Amino acid sequence: MSHLEKQPIRVVVTGAAGQIAYSLLYIIAKGDVFGRDQPLILHLLDIPPMMEVLEGVVMEMADCALPLLHEVVPTADPVVAFHDVSAAFLVGAMPRKQGMERKDLLSANVKIFKVQGEALDKHARKDVKVLVVGNPANTNAIVCSKYAPSIPPENFTAMTRLDHNRARAQIAARANVPVACVSNVIIWGNHSSTQVPDASHAKVKINGNVVSASEAIKDEAWLKKQFIETVQKRGAAVIQARKMSSAMSAATAAADHMRSWFLGTDPDEFVSMGVVSDGSYGSPKGVVFSFPVTISNGKWKIVQDLKIDEFYLDMLTATGKELEEERAEAMAVIEA
Ligand SMILES: NC(=O)C1=CN([C@@H]2O[C@H](COP(=O)(O)OP(=O)(O)OC[C@H]3O[C@@H](n4cnc5c(N)ncnc54)[C@H](O)[C@@H]3O)[C@@H](O)[C@H]2O)C=CC1
Ligand SMILES: O=C([O-])CC(=O)C(=O)O
């Protein structure tokens, strides 16, 4: 079916005048997320003081002359922004500065996700797929879901795909292969410095053969120390260098996450996604925890029965505990 025949879907991006959105909007509008034959109506939400900047973004989008982009709706009104949307990229939130942890943003950001949860509940399609990017992403996602009770909790996810991509890139560089040759890394837990990057199930394609990361790299000490720390601290390293948080890579990861969700994962591939926990792998139930997932027909499924090396167990417990603490703090902020 050509894009002239398919009905457009409505997609909202919040924080649309910000850094991440500036890269993300183009990736979405040119068809890299929902398919090259899927027309789009893009809803762009930001706050009232950013409306002039947003107008400039809208001009640039028109000037890209993108065939799939049927309409752009810039707004500061959540009612307009969330009306009838099939997908929501919740990016709009304060970014951290040097020296902060992401959870230091909790008191500033968590209320945004209550308001947006309520707006999604009232105005979005009931099958809307929601990706929370704004930090602290896992906790914001659980807040958003709580305030949107008419939308299934599994439709609310948080972004750890950037950590996943960072992990693939580190393994690829160490094994001296192109990044496309590395798959099935896992990010467990929170999108924070307690996250657990785990390469023990990763696959690396070398000279046409698929081997484990351990076999490809032959340096267990590196995999259990520098690899983990580099991925855990990559966001802070980018802030240190750029004086602003990751934007191009964050936009790419957001697009990857939503594309996998809408279009599915490859056979034998899994990706990392923050999803509401059912207690798998000893994680606390009901927090948004990053797991390896496979996706087909728009539904994610946590990969089960992976053998977890004992080395990671305490770290898994710690990241789960942090998520429970963040959830309690978020509820206290909202109820205060
Ligand atoms: N989960 C992840 O892997 C990553 C998450 N992030 C997070 O993404 C968020 C956005 O980052 P940037 O785009 O760099 O920040 P930015 O400051 O450049 O843009 C944020 C935009 O959100 C808008 N905004 C604030 N409150 C809003 C509201 N209630 N409704 C709609 N828009 C609102 C602001 O006006 C601004 O235009 C930050 O919280 C950052 O920490 C960033 C990188 C990766
Ligand atoms: O580090 C930050 O604050 C931004 C972010 O989430 C990331 O780059 O992973």
Domain shared by 129 and 244, yes or no:
no
Domain shared by 102 and 239, yes or no:
no
Average predicted confidence (pLDDT) for the chain: 96
Provide CB contacts within 8 A for 250, sequence distance 6+: 20, 23, 133, 159, 162
Residue nearest ligand 1's atom 33 by CA: 92
Q: How far is the CA of 184 from the centre of ligand 1 (A)?
A: 28
Q: CA dist 122 to 64, 85, 87, 130, 276, Å?
A: 33, 11, 15, 14, 21
CATH number of the domain residue 67 falls in = 3.40.50.720
Domain shared by 248 and 303, yes or no:
yes
Domain shared by 285 and 231, yes or no:
yes
Which ligand sits nearest to residue 91's alpha carbon? 1
User: Does residue 136 have a cis peptide bond before it, meaning omega lies within 30 degrees of 0?
Assistant: yes
Give the residue numbers of the binding site for NAD(+). 46, 109, 133-135
Name the active-site residue from 83, 191, 201, 257: 191
Q: Above 80 in pLDDT, residue 8? A: yes
Output the CA torsion sign for 282, 284, 290, 294: positive
Domain shared by 36 and 150, yes or no:
yes
Radius of gyration of the chain (CA): 19
The ipTM of this complex is 0.99
Domain shared by 74 and 214, yes or no:
no
Give the residue numbers of the binding site for substrate. 96, 102, 135, 166
Q: For residue 236, give the ligand 2 atom closest to its CA.
A: 1
Domain shared by 20 and 125, yes or no:
yes
**Count of structural domains within the chain:** 2
| Ligand 2 probe mutation, 245, 252, 272, most atoms within 8 A of CB | 245
Is 122 a domain residue? yes
The pLDDT tens digits for 168-208 are 999 999 999 999 999 999 999 999 999 999 999 999 999 99
CATH number of the domain residue 307 falls in = 3.90.110.10
Domain shared by 314 and 186, yes or no:
yes
Query: Which residue, of 158, 183, 202, is where some domain finishes?
Result: 158
| Ligand 2 probe mutation, 101, 187, 246, 257, most atoms within 8 A of CB | 246
Q: How far is the CA of 76 from the centre of ligand 1 (A)?
A: 15
Query: Which residue, of 158, 180, 210, is where some domain finishes?
Result: 158
Which ligand sits nearest to residue 19's alpha carbon? 1
Q: Above 70 in pLDDT, residue 2? A: no
Query: Which residue, of 124, 140, 158, is where some domain finishes?
Result: 158
Give the residue numbers of the binding site. 46, 96, 102, 109, 133-135, 166
Domain shared by 185 and 99, yes or no:
no
The pLDDT tens digits for 22-78 are 999 999 999 999 999 999 999 999 999 999 999 999 999 999 999 999 999 999 999
Q: Above 60 in pLDDT, residue 307? A: yes
What is the reported pLDDT for 5? 73
Domain shared by 44 and 152, yes or no:
yes
Residue 281 DSSP code: G
The pLDDT tens digits for 236-254 are 999 999 999 999 999 999 9
Query: What DSSP line would sit under 24-74, residue for residue?
Result: HHHHHHTTTTT-TT--EEEEEE--GGGHHHHHHHHHHHHHTT-TTEEEEEE
The pLDDT tens digits for 258-296 are 999 999 999 999 999 999 999 999 999 999 999 999 999
Query: By percentage, how much of the chain surpasses pLDDT 70?
Result: 99
Separation of alpha carbons 105 and 100, rounded Å? 8
Judge whether 141 and 28 are in contact, CB under 8 Å. no
Query: By percentage, how much of the chain surpasses pLDDT 90?
Result: 95
User: Range of 202's domain?
Assistant: 161-325
Is 217 a domain residue? yes
The answer to whether the CB of 114 is under 6 A from ligand 1 is no
191 is catalytic: yes
Domain shared by 109 and 241, yes or no:
no
What is the reported pLDDT for 4? 54
The pLDDT tens digits for 68-81 are 999 999 999 999 99
Q: For residue 94, give the ligand 1 atom closest to its CA.
A: 39
Separation of alpha carbons 25 and 251, rounded Å? 8
Residue nearest ligand 1's atom 41 by CA: 95
The answer to whether the CB of 105 is under 6 A from ligand 2 is no
Domain shared by 13 and 135, yes or no:
yes
